[in-house]
Amino acid sequence: MIHSVTDIWRHPLKSHGREALDSVTMIAGQTMPGDRVWAVAHDASKADGSQWAPCANFTRGAKAPQLMAINAQLEDVTGQLTLSHPDRPDLSFDPDAAADLQRFLDWEKPLTPADRAASARIIRVPGRGMTDTDFPSVSLCNWDSHRAVEAAIGHDLSPKRWRGNIWFDLGAPWAENDLMGSQIQIGEVTFLIRERVTRCLATTANPETGVRDADTLKTLKETWGHQDFSVYAEVITGGDIRLGDSVKVL
């Protein structure tokens, strides 16, 4: 069976929206262009933009489920980012512009719990996206595993819950978990599969409403004995990936 790319997603501002793409040009050793370029540091964070920092330093969907309902659109040339949410007016701003920070914080505040550390600033680390891994990673998702989770939980689930980058079928649920240390070619790009993605509470929230309505973590744990979905990969050989491109385990 020939497997192919069905979806490509990037998340310009970490935990604050996703954007569908038709194609992307990957660079060896780097995160997906436009993915997790920025992250929102809260007022208890030690992240200062000088280096990568763990996700606990940032405002994110695990603690603020309403963030899961954000959609994003990044203008690559200008760096202008537009965020939309069913309960908020659209916001267009420049994440790098200090003059725009307060507008963003005011827009986001109703979407975050009052008893959590408040968002304070937007940071970026030159040369890499703020993925959850300490290496620049791209997350690869297997549709067969998603369908297995849907069957176990008993109803449809939006794949947006998983916040993955590239989607395709591998022919069997959890086949990706057996590929640690293997290489996979997607379009022109060669990836090294490095880690399984252990999931958090963000996946329990509906990406259309921002309401927690599915116990994905309990389903994963009780059915398969883990809380993993998808894998983190490193770009070994860069190139283009387009919707419909072939996927081949090497």
Q: What is the DSSP string of 77-93?
A: TT--EEEEETTEEEEEE
Please give the average per-residue pLDDT across 112-125, as a whole number.
96
Whole-number mean pLDDT of the chain?
97
Which three-class secondary structure state does DSSP give residue 6? strand
Of 1, 17, 48, whose CA–CA distance to 9 is shortest?
Answer: 17
Which residues sit opposite 235 in a β-bridge? Answer: 191
Q: Give mean pLDDT, residues 47-61.
A: 96
* 89 in the same domain as 182: no
Average pLDDT over residues 92-116: 97
Name the residue with tokens 């964070």: 45
pLDDT at 2: 75
Which range of residues forms the domain containing residue 103?
A: 39-123
Do 140 and 222 have their domain in common?
yes
Residue with token string 């997603």: 9
Say how many domains are in the chain.
2
What percentage of the chain carries pLDDT values higher than 90? 98
CB 89 within 8 A of CB 83: no
Residue 68 belongs to some domain of the structure: yes
Q: Which residues, including other chains, have CB under 8 Å from residue 216's CB and lie 6 or more apart?
A: 149, 153, 157, 161, 199, 203, 204, 229
Single-letter amino acid code for the residue at 127: G
Q: What is the pLDDT of residue 199?
A: 98
Range 166-175 average pLDDT: 97
My answer on whether 49 and 26 are in the same domain is no
Confidence of residue 192 (pLDDT cuts 50, 70, 90): very high
Q: Is the pLDDT of residue 74 over 80?
A: yes
Inside any domain, residue 128: no
- Between 86 and 126, the higher pLDDT residue: 86
Does one domain contain both 152 and 69?
no
What pLDDT shows up at residue 241?
A: 98
DSSP β-ladder status, 138-142 and 166-168: parallel
In the chain, the amino acid numbered 204 is T
**Residue 33 pLDDT exceeds 90:** yes
pLDDT at 1 over 80: no
- 143 and 113 in one domain? no
pLDDT at 122: 98
Q: pLDDT band at 145, cuts 50/70/90?
A: very high
Let me know whether 205 and 241 are in one domain: yes
Claim to verify: residue 213 and residue 110 sit in the same structural domain: no
pTM above 0.95, yes or no: yes
Task: Among 123, 141, 158, identify where a domain stops.
Answer: 123
Question: Is the pLDDT assigned to residue 37 strictly greater than 80?
Answer: yes
What pLDDT sits at residue 213? 97
